[in-house]
A and B are shown apart, each in its own frame.
Chain A
Amino acid sequence: MIEIKKLHKSYPIGKDSLHVLKGIDLHIKEGEFVSIMGSSGSGKSTLLNIVGLLDEHDEGDYYLNGQLIKNLNEKKAAILRNKFLGFVFQSFNLISYKTALENVALPLYYKGVPRKERLKTAMEYLDKVELKDWANHLPNELSGGQKQRVAIARALVTQPKVVLADEPTGALDSTTTDNVMDLLRDINDEGMTVFVITHEEEVAAQTKRIVRLKDGVIISDELTEKAKAV
C-alpha cells in the first residue's frame, strides 16, 4: 500500500538546510495498523506529510497504492488525496462554520458526489462514530472527543485506502483517547490501513506495529503484543 525507499527530506533554514529525513525505508501493507513513534524533531510529522501528499520529498521513491509519486502538481495531488487518503489531525481541523454533517460531507463534494447522496453517506458515517444526534451542531458545540470522531468520520467518508492520523489524541484526555483509539482499531479491523503518528507509548501500544524514528532514521520496527495476539 505504502512503499518508501531511501527517502530524504531537508528544509532550508536561512543559508543552511535542515536534514530531517535521512533515508527512510518503510513498507506498509494493506490492512496494517502502524504507529510511528518519536520525540519531537525526529521527523515523524514530516514523514506523515510526505505520505499524505501534503509535502514533497527530495530524494528516494514513494509508491502509494502501487503508483510512483513524483513531480505531482497541486491538482494531481488533490485528486490523489481525495481518492486514497483520509486525514485525522491533532487539532481536528474542522471548518468552524459548517455543521458536523457538512464537515463530514465536504470530501464528497470535492469528489463530485451529488448533494443528496453526499449528505446520506455522511450521515451513515456520523452514525458509525455515534454522533448521528449531533449532525447539525457546529464544531464549537462539540467536545474534543466528539470533534475528533467527526474528523474520523470525515476521513473515512470517501472510503480511502489509508487513514493518516497525526497525533490524533494529542489534544484529548485519557478516556477520550481510549475511545478514539478504539474507533481507529475498529476501522482497522474492518480492513482499513491506518497510519498513526504519536509520541505516547500507550497510544502506540494499541496499534499492531510500531516504527520508532530518531533523528530522521528508523531505529526500530516491530510488531506489538496486540498484533501477536491476533
Chain B
Amino acid sequence: MFDLDRWREIFQSISKNKLRSVMSGFTVAFAILLFTLLFGIVSGLSNSFKDAFADDAANFMSVRVRKTTKPFKGLQTGRIIQLKNKDYNFVKDKYDSKIELLTARVNKNVNISYKNKQDNYSLRAVHPDHQFLEKTIIDEGRFINNRDLKEKAKVIVIGRLVKEDLFGEKPALGKRVNVSGISYQIIGIFSDDGGDNEERFTYMPVTTAQMIYGNNDLINQINIGYSPDLSLDEAIAFGNKMERDLRKALDIHPDDQSALSIQNMAEANKGVGTFVIALYFIVIFIGSGTLIAGIIGISNIMIFVIKERTKEFGIRKALGAQPSSIVGMVVQESVLITTIAGYLGLSLGTYILSKIGNSLEDYFITNPSVSPGIVIGATVVLILSGLIAGYVPAKRAAGIKPIVALRAD
C-alpha cells in the first residue's frame, strides 16, 4: 500500500502549489480550532459547576428546622421546631442501610483565648462523621473520635486561621485554650477548600457541648451522607421519605416546607447533571456544525483545485495514468492536508486551552480541556472528511475524457 513514488508526487504537488494547499488546510485547521475551543470551554464550565459543590461531600443531605407555618393536630403556626438526640437516633436506626455518614451538629458562638490573645469564633459540636461530610482536611493531629464522644472529653479541633490568630507561627497542637471559661485541649488543626470562613470554625464533641451548654439534648442540625450505592433518583426518594417521616415524628404538617426541610445534594447534582448534559448537546450541535462548515469549505476548495488541475489530469492520462491513480493521488493529497491541518488546529486549540488554565475562573471556566476520546473522534472525522472532499470531485475529474480535459484551461 505504501508507495514512495506516490507520496513523492503528492509532496511535490503540495509544495509547488503552496497557496491552494495552505488555503484548504486553513479551513480545516480553523474549524478544528473552533471545535476544540468550544469543547474545552464547555468542559471548563462543567468543571466550574462541579467545583461549586465541592465544598461538601457529593452525597450530602441536611435536615434543618425552623418555625411551623401550618397548623397541625391542634398545634398553632409559629411553633419553633427543635431537633433533639432522639431525632438523630430515629434517623440513625430507621435508615441505617441507606446512610453512609451521619452527624448531629450544635452551633454556638464562643470566645476562645490563649494567653493574652482572644477572639469570638463559631463552634460546631459534632459527631466524627462530620469530618467527611464537610470535607475537613486535618493538617495536624486528629478529628473528634468516638472515645471523645463517650467521655465527653474537653477537646477541640481548630481551623487553620484560628490557630494563626491565637498562636501565630508557634505550635498549637496539644496546647490548652480557654473556651468561654473552660479549658480545652487542642487535638487537631484543620483546613478546608471551602474558603477562609470555613477555616475560622472550631469543632468539639457534640456530647461535650450538650453537657456544658445547658446540659440538654438539643441539636441544631442533622447532616447525612447517603449511601453511595443509591442512584440519584433513589437518593432523592430517600430524602423525600425521610422528610415525611421526620415531619410525622415531630407533629409537623406533611407539607410544611418551612418547619422541617431536607436539603439534598442529590437534587442539586441531578440539576447540574441535566444542565451539563444539555450544555454538551448544544456544543455537539454547534461543534458538528463547525466541523460540517469546515468540511464543506474544503470540499469547495477541492472542487476548485480539481477544476484547476483538469488539464494536468488530462496530460497525465494521455501519458498513461489510469483513472484510479488520479483519484488515489487526489484523495491521498486531500487526506494528508486535512489530517495535518486538523492536527495543527487541534494542537493549537489544546495549547490555548492549557494556557487559559485557571485564568478564566472569574468567568466560570475552570481548567478547560478536551478529552482524548473527542480528540480521536475529531481526527477520524477529519480523515473521513478529507477522503470524501477529495474523492467526489476527483472521481468526476478522472472520468472526464482526456481529450476534453486537455482542452481545459
Contact = CB atoms under 8 A, between A and B. Distances in A.
- Centre residue among A54, A78, A95, A98 by max chain B CB count within 10 A: A78
A93 interface: yes
B322 interface: yes
A111 B322 CA distance: 10
A110 B321 contact: yes
A78 B322 contact: yes
Contacts of B311: 93
A79 B325 CA distance: 12
A55 B403 contact: yes
Given A54-B401, A55-B401, A110-B325, A93 B320 contact: no
Top 9 closest pairs, chain A to chain B, by CB:
A82-B320, A97-B16, A110-B320, A54-B403, A107-B319, A78-B322, A54-B402, A93-B315, A74-B323
Nearest to B325: A110
B25 to A, nearest CB: 18
Contacts of A74: 317, 322-323, 398-399
Contacts of B321: 78, 110
A176 interface: no
B96 to A, nearest CB: 79
B197 interface: no
Contacts of B12: 97-98, 102
A106 interface: yes
Interface string A77-89: 0110111000101
B97 interface: no
Contact of B312 (A95, A107, A158): A95
Nearest to B319: A107
B5 A109 contact: yes
A215 to B, nearest CB: 21
Interface string B312-331: 10111111111111000000
B193 interface: no
A178 B407 CA distance: 26
B360 to A, nearest CB: 46
A201 B47 CA distance: 84
9 contacts: A74-B399, A79-B320, A81-B320, A95-B312, A97-B12, A102-B12, A107-B319, A109-B9, A110-B320
Given A75-B324, A95-B312, A98-B12, A106 B403 contact: no
Interface string B380-409: 000000000000000000110111001000
B13 interface: yes
B319 A110 contact: yes
A70 interface: no
B359 interface: no
Interface in B286-326: 311-312, 314-325
Interface string B1-19: 0001100110011001100
A215 B398 CA distance: 32
A52 interface: yes
A106 B316 contact: yes
Given A97-B16, A110-B325, A49 B319 contact: no
- Centre residue among B5, B320, B398, B406 by max chain A CB count within 10 A: B320
A44 interface: no
Nearest to A49: B403
Contacts of A54: 318, 401-403, 406
B319 A106 contact: yes
Given A54-B401, A54-B403, A109-B5, A75 B323 contact: yes
A107 B320 contact: yes
A81 B315 CA distance: 12
Interface in A76-131: 78-79, 81-83, 87, 89, 93-95, 97-98, 102, 106-107, 109-111, 115
Contacts of B324: 75
A81 B319 contact: yes
Contacts of A82: 319-320
A230 B89 CA distance: 126
A161 to B, nearest CB: 13
A106 B12 CA distance: 13
Given A95-B312, A97-B17, A98-B12, A75 B406 contact: no
A154 interface: yes
Contact of B13 (A75, A81, A97, A154): A97
A98 B9 CA distance: 10
Nearest to B399: A74
A95 B313 CA distance: 10
B28 to A, nearest CB: 23
Contacts of A95: 312, 315-316
Nearest to B406: A93
Given A78-B322, A109-B5, 13 more contacts: A54-B402, A54-B406, A74-B399, A78-B320, A78-B321, A79-B322, A81-B320, A82-B320, A107-B319, A107-B320, A115-B5, A154-B319, A158-B320
A162 to B, nearest CB: 13
